[in-house]
């Protein structure tokens, strides 16, 4: 490549990158750096706030903060319950619908995707009504079928609140995995499947030996996005329970919000953000590692 | 082979189970839409109506009775930094608040979508097809940033927006969405498919860089842009957390925030809240159904390429 051409390539390259780089650096890289930096300060919201450098004191406090540990525990519980159920459920549904007639397959795909499209707030408010102590459909159906003896205050009861949240999260999480699995299963090499069937393989063998390895990349992607989504579960908590009753539905995401915008402890909230980022990064790395070895 | 499998008892049984599940998944949406037309008496009855017995528009009347700010009142970005005071561009009548929220949401989603598509396709093309110093570094940076969770940037962004005087404007929500590097990454993967020889011959024919991009690269990466557009639109529409921390004034709320606010103020008027929820969800569902085919393709392509 001649020098003039190389220069032209460089200039053109940077000009093409420029608009995107501006937004990327200003609104992604800079706040990321600031998050880590501010987590080392005792800092409050507000214009005349004075920041004092306190090193890792925020992090030390974090791991002695009972509410944070409770939030961490709840978040891990949500992830541990919802990620496998979402993956298994969506794989099962997809494997049943992907070779149905086209209209049926897309109809089911659309329906399972509806809660995602409806939007977290609209979904949450209708579930709040359905779970309501007096006017909710769950209590009505439960008591009239004789399953429940009396009305249950689903979201106000420590025993049930978190499970209600997990259920709603589940309905809003399976849409995308189903779309992905249907397309992945449709792309499985049919000649291999047929060859195995000629050789007398059972459906289960065909699935584990042929289809499963081929949809592995999709499974990995679904694991990663479902984990991240479960970690970020926020609207449900904020609108349904505000972390209550008695912190039984407190999650890291909600606690970050609460610390920052209700307690105005800006530096402390950032320290939580850093911890959350590290946990998610480690989990994603582990998932990639495990999947690569298989 | 397929015929036989489809008729086994297991296949029929599971089809029935899936149909029942599908019904349950669609139920909340049905409950929103019918609830929006139920009378307060029907909603607060211990025994719910499975279908509205008495239809009413009362919920929508209450919803639309709330007024907010003039129709078009958009803060010009960076105006305060440049001129010392916030310049508003405002005309038109004062519509119901809910209507205003809907317009805000549409504006925010469309602006985020257009800006993302333009910047990402330019940058993705450069990363894939231009050879320049620092290209590898930039790409690494983008991939690393993508692997980190978004919430890390959200809290510092609130302060940054306040410093830039963008607080409480829709731009505070739009710009971070545009900056998020997933789009650049996706468009880079698509641009890899542009044959180098065509670009080379265009250059020999004396076409300028921008001309080469618009006439050769753009048609090839168009399906990718379509996917990215839908993806960004829906994500922006539903990005509740970012909207919540950035927007406070009644005039600048999005429809999601609006319903959340309604819910906070009238916790038990479920009819009114359902009317709001219907207003928030029905338009986006119509968009989704209209572009369903592209949308499905969009999510799949995003996953395969990503």
Does residue A17 belong to any structural domain of this protein? no
pLDDT at B71 over 60: no
pLDDT digits (tens, 9 = 90+) for B124-179: 999 988 888 888 888 888 888 877 777 778 888 988 898 888 888 899 999 999 99
Does residue B239 belong to any structural domain of this protein? yes
pLDDT at B195 over 50: yes
| Cα–Cα distance for residue pair B22/B252, rounded to 1 Å | 36
Q: What average pLDDT does the segment A29-48 reach?
A: 81
% of chain B at pLDDT higher than 90: 18
Does residue B44 belong to any structural domain of this protein? no
β-pair partners for B88: B75
CATH code of residue B277: 1.10.3720.10
pLDDT at B25 over 70: yes
Using an 8 Å Cβ cutoff, are B28 and A127 in contact? yes
% of chain B at pLDDT higher than 70: 88
Residues of B in contact with A259 (CB under 8 A): none
pLDDT digits (tens, 9 = 90+) for A42-91: 877 665 566 778 878 888 888 888 999 999 999 999 999 999 999 999 99
Residues of A in contact with B175 (CB under 8 A): 23, 26-27
Total number of domains constituting chain A: 1
- Give the angle A167-A171-A176 at the CA atoms, nearest 5°: 140
Total number of domains constituting chain B: 1
Residue A153 belongs to domain spanning? 66-293
Does residue A146 belong to any structural domain of this protein? yes
pLDDT digits (tens, 9 = 90+) for A87-136: 999 999 999 898 888 888 889 999 999 998 888 899 999 998 888 888 88
Does residue B30 belong to any structural domain of this protein? no
pLDDT digits (tens, 9 = 90+) for B75-91: 677 776 777 666 666 66
Q: What is the pLDDT of residue B69?
A: 56
Q: Which of B253, B245, B263, B63 is nearest to B158 (CA)?
A: B245
The encoded tokens of residue A112 equal 């399972």
When scoring B7, B127, B153 by the number of chain A Cβ atoms within 10 A, the one with the most, hence best to mutate, is B153
| Cα–Cα distance for residue pair B83/B85, rounded to 1 Å | 6
Question: What is the DSSP pairing of strand A52-53 with strand A41-42?
Answer: antiparallel
Query: Within a 10 A sphere around the Cβ of B274, how many other Cβ atoms?
Result: 26
Chain B: residue whose CA lies nearest to A137? B48
A24/B145 touch (CB, cutoff 8 Å), yes or no: yes
Q: Which of A155, A165, A4, A152 is nearest to A74 (CA)?
A: A165
Query: Within a 10 A sphere around the Cβ of A270, how many other Cβ atoms?
Result: 28
B residues 244-283 closer than 8 Å to A (CB): 244-245, 256-257, 259-260, 263, 270, 273-274, 276-278, 280-281
Most confident of A32-46, A132-146, B90-104, B173-187: B173-187
A276/B292 touch (CB, cutoff 8 Å), yes or no: no
Does residue B80 belong to any structural domain of this protein? yes
pLDDT at B4 over 50: no
> Cα(first)–Cα(last) distance of chain B, in Å?
34
pLDDT digits (tens, 9 = 90+) for A225-282: 888 888 888 888 988 888 778 888 899 889 999 988 888 888 888 899 899 888 888 8
Specify the 3-state DSSP secondary structure of A41: strand
**What ipTM does this complex have?**
0.84
CA dist B111 → A73, B67, B260 (Å)? 39, 25, 23
Using an 8 Å Cβ cutoff, are B177 and B232 in contact? yes
Using an 8 Å Cβ cutoff, are B256 and B235 in contact? no
Q: How far is CA B129 from the centre of its chain?
A: 29
A129/B296 touch (CB, cutoff 8 Å), yes or no: no
Q: Who has greater pLDDT, B97 or A223?
A: A223
pLDDT at B287 over 70: yes
- Give the angle B33-B34-B35 at the CA atoms, nearest 5°: 90
Query: Within a 10 A sphere around the Cβ of A280, how many other Cβ atoms?
Result: 21
Does residue B236 belong to any structural domain of this protein? yes
Q: What is the pLDDT of residue B89?
A: 66
* Cβ–Cβ contact B194 with A under 8 A: no
Most confident of A145-154, B41-50, B152-161, B171-180: B171-180
Return the beta strands (E) in chain B as ranges: 72-75, 88-91
A residues 29-88 closer than 8 Å to B (CB): 29-32, 34-35, 38, 45, 47
* Alpha-carbon dihedral angle through residues B110, B113, B119, B125, given to the nearest 10 degrees: -140
Does residue A88 belong to any structural domain of this protein? yes
Does residue A224 belong to any structural domain of this protein? yes
Q: What is the pLDDT of residue B2?
A: 44
Q: What average pLDDT does the segment A150-164 reach?
A: 85
Using an 8 Å Cβ cutoff, are B154 and A24 in contact? no
pLDDT at B116 over 90: yes
Is the dihedral angle over the CA atoms B123, B127, B133, B139 positive or is it negative? positive
| Cα–Cα distance for residue pair B219/B294, rounded to 1 Å | 16
Does residue B20 belong to any structural domain of this protein? no
Chain B: residue whose CA lies nearest to A242? B264
Specify the 3-state DSSP secondary structure of B67: strand
Give residues with Cβ within 8 angstroms of B13, minimum separation 6. none
The encoded tokens of residue B52 equal 């509205």
| Cα–Cα distance for residue pair A277/A232, rounded to 1 Å | 11
- The upper half-sphere exposure of residue B97, i.e. CA atoms within 13 Å in the direction of its Cβ, equals 19
Q: Who has greater pLDDT, A19 or B151?
A: A19
Residues of A in contact with B154 (CB under 8 A): 31, 273
When scoring A27, A263, A278 by the number of chain B Cβ atoms within 10 A, the one with the most, hence best to mutate, is A27
Does residue A46 belong to any structural domain of this protein? no
pLDDT at B306 over 80: no
pLDDT at A166 over 80: yes
B245/A257 touch (CB, cutoff 8 Å), yes or no: yes
B270/A129 touch (CB, cutoff 8 Å), yes or no: yes
CATH code of residue A273: 1.10.3720.10
- Give the angle A25-B151-B282 at the CA atoms, nearest 5°: 105
Using an 8 Å Cβ cutoff, are B273 and B259 in contact? yes
Q: Which residue has the tokens 């709840």?
A: A74
Examine residue A186 and say whether the peptide bond preceding it is cis (omega within 30 degrees of 0). no
Using an 8 Å Cβ cutoff, are B161 and B173 in contact? no
B141/A29 touch (CB, cutoff 8 Å), yes or no: yes
| Cα–Cα distance for residue pair A120/B238, rounded to 1 Å | 7
Does residue B8 belong to any structural domain of this protein? no
| 3-state SS track over A245-278 | CCCCCCCHHHHHHHHHHCCCEHHHHHHHHHHHHH
Query: Smallest Cβ distance to A20: which of B11, B120, B209?
Result: B120
What is the average pLDDT score of chain B? 83
* Cβ–Cβ contact A134 with B under 8 A: yes
H/E element, B296: helix B292-305
Residue B78 belongs to domain spanning? 67-305
| Cα–Cα distance for residue pair B117/B243, rounded to 1 Å | 21
pLDDT at B217 over 70: yes
Q: With cut-offs at 50, 70 and 90, classify the pLDDT of residue B3.
A: very low
| Cα–Cα distance for residue pair B217/B195, rounded to 1 Å | 9
């Amino acid at each position: 490549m001649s020098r003039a051409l190389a220069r032209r390539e460089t200039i053109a390259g940077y000009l093409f990158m420029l608009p995107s780089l501006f937004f990327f650096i200003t609104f992604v890289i800079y706040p990321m750096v600031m998050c880590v930096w501010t987590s080392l300060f005792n800092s409050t919201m507000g214009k005349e706030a004075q920041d004092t450098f306190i090193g890792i004191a925020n992090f030390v406090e974090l791991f002695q903060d009972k509410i944070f540990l409770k939030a961490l525990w709840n978040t891990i519980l949500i992830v541990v319950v919802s990620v496998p159920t979402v993956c298994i459920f969506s794989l099962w549904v997809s494997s049943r619908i992907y070779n149905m007639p086209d209209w049926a397959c897309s109809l089911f795909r659309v329906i399972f995707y509806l809660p995602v499209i409806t939007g977290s707030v609209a979904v949450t408010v209708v579930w709040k009504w359905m779970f309501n102590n007096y006017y909710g459909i769950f209590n009505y159906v439960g008591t009239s079928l004789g399953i429940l003896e009396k009305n249950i205050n689903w979201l106000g009861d420590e025993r049930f609140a978190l499970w209600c949240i997990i259920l709603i999260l589940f309905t809003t999480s399976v849409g995308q995995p189903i779309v992905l699995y249907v397309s992945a299963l449709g792309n499985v090499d049919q000649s291999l499947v047929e060859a195995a069937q000629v050789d007398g393989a059972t459906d289960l063998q065909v699935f584990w030996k042929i289809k499963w390895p081929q949809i592995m990349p999709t499974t990995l992607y679904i694991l990663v996005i479902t984990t991240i989504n479960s970690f970020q579960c926020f609207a449900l908590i904020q609108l349904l329970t505000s972390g209550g009753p008695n912190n039984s539905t407190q999650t890291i995401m909600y606690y970050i919000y609460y610390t920052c915008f209700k307690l105005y402890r800006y530096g402390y909230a950032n320290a939580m953000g850093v911890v959350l980022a590290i946990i998610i990064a480690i989990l994603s790395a582990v998932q990639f590692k495990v999947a690569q070895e298989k | 082979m397929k015929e036989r499998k489809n008729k086994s008892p297991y296949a029929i049984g599971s089809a029935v189970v899936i149909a029942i599940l599908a019904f349950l998944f669609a139920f909340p949406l049905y409950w929103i839409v019918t609830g929006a037309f139920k009378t307060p008496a029907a909603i607060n009855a211990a025994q719910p109506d499975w279908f509205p017995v008495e239809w009413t528009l009362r919920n929508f009347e209450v919803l639309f009775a709330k007024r907010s700010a003039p129709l078009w009142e958009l803060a010009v970005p960076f105006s305060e930094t440049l001129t010392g005071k916030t310049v508003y561009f405002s005309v038109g009548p004062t519509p119901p608040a809910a209507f205003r929220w809907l317009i805000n949401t549409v504006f925010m989603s469309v602006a985020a979508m257009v800006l993302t598509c333009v910047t990402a396709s330019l940058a993705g093309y450069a990363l894939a097809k231009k050879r320049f110093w620092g290209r590898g570094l930039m790409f690494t940076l983008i991939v690393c940033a993508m692997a980190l969770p978004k919430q890390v940037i959200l809290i510092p962004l609130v302060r940054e927006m306040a410093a830039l005087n963008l607080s409480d404007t829709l731009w505070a929500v739009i710009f971070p969405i545009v900056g998020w590097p997933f789009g650049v990454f996706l468009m880079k993967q698509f641009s890899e498919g542009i044959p180098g020889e065509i670009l080379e011959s265009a250059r020999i024919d004396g076409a300028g860089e921008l001309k080469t991009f618009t006439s050769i690269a753009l048609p090839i990466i168009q399906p990718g842009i379509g996917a990215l557009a839908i993806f960004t639109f829906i994500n922006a529409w539903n990005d509740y957390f970012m909207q919540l921390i950035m927007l406070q004034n009644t005039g600048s709320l999005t429809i999601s925030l609006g319903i959340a606010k309604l819910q906070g103020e009238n916790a038990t008027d479920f009819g009114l809240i359902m009317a709001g929820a219907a207003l928030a969800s029905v338009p986006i569902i119509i968009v989704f159904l209209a572009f369903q085919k592209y949308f499905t393709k969009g999510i799949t392509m995003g996953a395969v390429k990503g």
